[in-house]
Amino acid sequence: MDWQALTIRPLRVGEGIPFELLLLADPSRALIEAYLPNANLYLADWEEQIIGAYLLYPLDEQKAEIKNIAVAEAWQGKGLGQILLKHAEEVARANGFDTLLIGTANSSIGQLYLYQKLGFEMLEIRKGFFLEHYEEELWENGLRVRDMVVLGKGLARVTINGSADDTD
């Protein structure tokens, strides 16, 4: 798929939140509404339609987390998820963060594959996270959604001789 005409941009002032998209990644509207005010929402436009979104949430001065990433169903599996993840990395790096985190469920096999393919490594398992924070019983890929796997990626710049450069 040729994504040349894709635009990824921050939410505009006064623009509505595309909840139907964000709910694909997080079934709790209450949780989305709780993290939204402290996050930066980026939207992917394609021919006047919003077909993807991600939310970058600062955790502290060093770490930012992708709290939500979603591609509209008809557009999944065409590479947009990877484009959004790379965009989030660039935005986080440009804003001075040195680590990017992303959490997903024990049952999210495709997402665990995708994030590791892009260089994220497993850091932590939050046991019972989804049992605690979601009222409804969630299932995915035939598995009970229970634990959150937190993955992270270092954002240090790499110089042409290959050494990490965090001097600027």
Site for ligand COA, rule CB under 6 A: 24-25, 69-71, 76-82, 104, 108, 110-111, 113-114
CB of 145 to ligand COA, least distance (A): 11
Nearer to ligand COA, 69 or 88 (CB): 69
Hey, CA dihedral for 11, 56, 141, 3, is it positive or negative?
positive
Nearer to ligand COA, 96 or 119 (CB): 119
Ordered DSSP codes for 88-144: HHHHHHHTT-SEEEEEEETT-HHHHHHHHHTT-EEEEEETTHHHHH-SS--EETTEE
Task: Give Cα 13 to chain centroid, integer Å.
Answer: 22
Nearer to ligand COA, 40 or 76 (CB): 76
Nearer to ligand COA, 97 or 115 (CB): 115
Interatomic CA distance for residues 62 and 28, integer angstroms: 27
Residue type for position 156? A
CB of 82 to ligand COA, least distance (A): 4
CB of 5 to ligand COA, least distance (A): 16
CB of 161 to ligand COA, least distance (A): 30
CB of 9 to ligand COA, least distance (A): 18
Nearer to ligand COA, 30 or 164 (CB): 30
* Distance, first Cα to last Cα, the chain: 36
